[in-house]
């Protein structure tokens, strides 16, 4: 028997616990803890490898910096203002860029991109998204709306946005996502523009008559490149390792302490070391559960988290979230069944150990085991959420 039956507890629990009770040692539970920590780390690797996150510019830590900083913009009406009307969401800051004209029929605004962006296929950004809103006295859509992406002042790509607007867009935030270099994109090249060197953006709007108009731009992001989280946030693996260590150690101590206290309450002459050793061996189920969960998630296809999901705009990410739930539902159901089975199994192992140790009746053994285990799960939930 290896390390006092750490695996024998699985296939022959009565024989294993008889030997454990005769010679209680912490070696076995510590080895189980190491196995669990390694399994938890493996689970994190699978989960992070399956989770593909949309890479965005500006990055999430900078919020929507391109529509937060007025100094990055110039326009036909002079310097823009920071507007209080803005999109609410995790990535969208607390202002927009505002441009106003009086008795004019045309307005353009240009964004200077400090660090040029790679939007070339296949490795560059695939999409450009931004929010647009206009306020005017008459409900009239632009007769012409265009966007340009610049490599230099005279070299740019041109895209007609007119069809993206209707009369109902007035006074309402429009959410536009435009594909960049691709077979289906509708960009026209002027001069020697290059998709791998985009350093400027210009929006131009024309109306049929002169109007008083205020245009607001918010939430401008280049995105569409998906990378697995394991490539961009490998430090999460260490976090899972530490979480695994903490989870096992705390639950081991809590379960062992509860088995000791409750057994004494029922008249047993309990010993701390034996109770703690029994608890540690019973938690072999944590290792089995994590290994099974890893297998379940390894069977999933890649899971994509798009900008709409990450943006945090109320209600907007629901479709993307529903798609993620649908993709992960099989694994989620399997893991919920596994967790229930592990609860029952752990209680059964503790009950076997208590019956062998104190010669309790099966009813009393199961009662003490269930009470101690369920209280330990509750305590773990409270501790891990602090």
Domain boundaries, the chain: 2-53+229-384, 57-224
| pLDDT tens column, 211-254 | 888 899 999 999 999 999 998 877 888 888 999 999 999 999 99
Q: Are 221 and 129 in contact (CB under 8 A)?
A: yes
Residues 57-224: name the CATH superfamily. Galactose-binding domain-like (2.60.120.260)
What does residue 147 show for φ and ψ, rounded to 5 degrees?
Answer: -130, 140
pLDDT exceeds cutoff 80 at 182: no
Tokens of 253: 């101590």
Tell me, what's the pLDDT at 167? 62
Contact 33, 286 (CB under 8 A): no
* pTM (global) more than 0.85: no
Q: Compute CA 15 distance to the chain's CA centroid, rounded to the nearest angstrom.
A: 44
- Contact yes or no for 282/377 (Cβ under 8 A): no
pLDDT of residue 4: 47
28-44 per-position pLDDT tens digit: 999 999 999 999 999 99
pLDDT digits (tens, 9 = 90+) for 252-296: 999 999 999 999 999 999 899 999 999 999 999 999 999 999 999
Q: Which residues are CB-neighbours of 385 under 8 A, at least 6 positions away?
A: none
Peptide bond into 58 cis (omega under 30): yes
């Amino acid at each position: 028997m290896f390390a006092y039956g750490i695996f024998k507890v699985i296939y022959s629990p009565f024989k294993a616990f008889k030997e454990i009770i005769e010679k209680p040692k912490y070696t076995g539970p510590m080895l189980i803890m190491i196995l669990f920590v390694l399994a938890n780390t493996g689970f994190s690797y699978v989960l992070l490898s399956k989770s593909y996150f949309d890479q965005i510019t500006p990055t999430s830590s900078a919020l929507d910096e391109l529509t937060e900083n007025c100094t990055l913009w110039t326009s036909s009406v002079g310097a823009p203002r920071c507007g209080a009307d803005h999109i609410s969401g995790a990535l969208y800051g607390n202002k927009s860029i505002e441009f106003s004209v009086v008795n004019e029929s045309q307005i353009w605004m240009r964004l200077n991109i400090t660090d040029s962006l790679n939007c070339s296929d296949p490795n560059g950004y695939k999409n450009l998204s931004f929010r647009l809103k206009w306020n005017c006295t008459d409900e009239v859509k632009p007769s012409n709306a265009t966007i340009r992406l610049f490599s230099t002042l005279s070299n740019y790509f041109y895209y007609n946005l007119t069809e993206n607007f209707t009369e109902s867009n007035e006074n309402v935030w429009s959410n536009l996502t435009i594909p960049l270099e691709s077979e289906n994109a509708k960009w026209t090249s002027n001069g020697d523009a290059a998709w791998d060197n985009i350093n400027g953006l210009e929006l131009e709007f024309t109306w049929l008559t002169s109007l008083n108009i205020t245009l607001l731009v918010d939430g401008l992001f280049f995105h569409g490149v998906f990378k697995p989280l394991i490539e961009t946030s490998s430090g999460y693996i260490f976090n899972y390792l530490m979480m695994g260590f903490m989870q096992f150690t705390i639950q081991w101590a809590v379960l062992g302490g509860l088995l000791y206290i409750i057994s004494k309450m029922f008249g047993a002459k309990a010993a701390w070391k034996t109770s703690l050793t029994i608890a540690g061996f019973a938690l072999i189920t944590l290792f089995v559960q994590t290994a099974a969960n890893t297998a379940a998630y390894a069977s999933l296809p890649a899971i994509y988290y798009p900008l709409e999901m990450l943006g945090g705009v109320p209600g907007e990410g629901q479709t993307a979230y529903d798609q993620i739930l649908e993709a992960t539902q099989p694994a989620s159901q399997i893991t919920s069944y596994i967790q229930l089975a592990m609860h029952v199994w752990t209680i059964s192992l503790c009950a076997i150990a208590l019956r062998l140790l104190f010669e309790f009746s099966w009813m009393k053994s199961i009662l003490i085991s269930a009470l101690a285990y369920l209280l330990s799960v509750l305590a773990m939930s409270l501790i891990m959420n602090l």
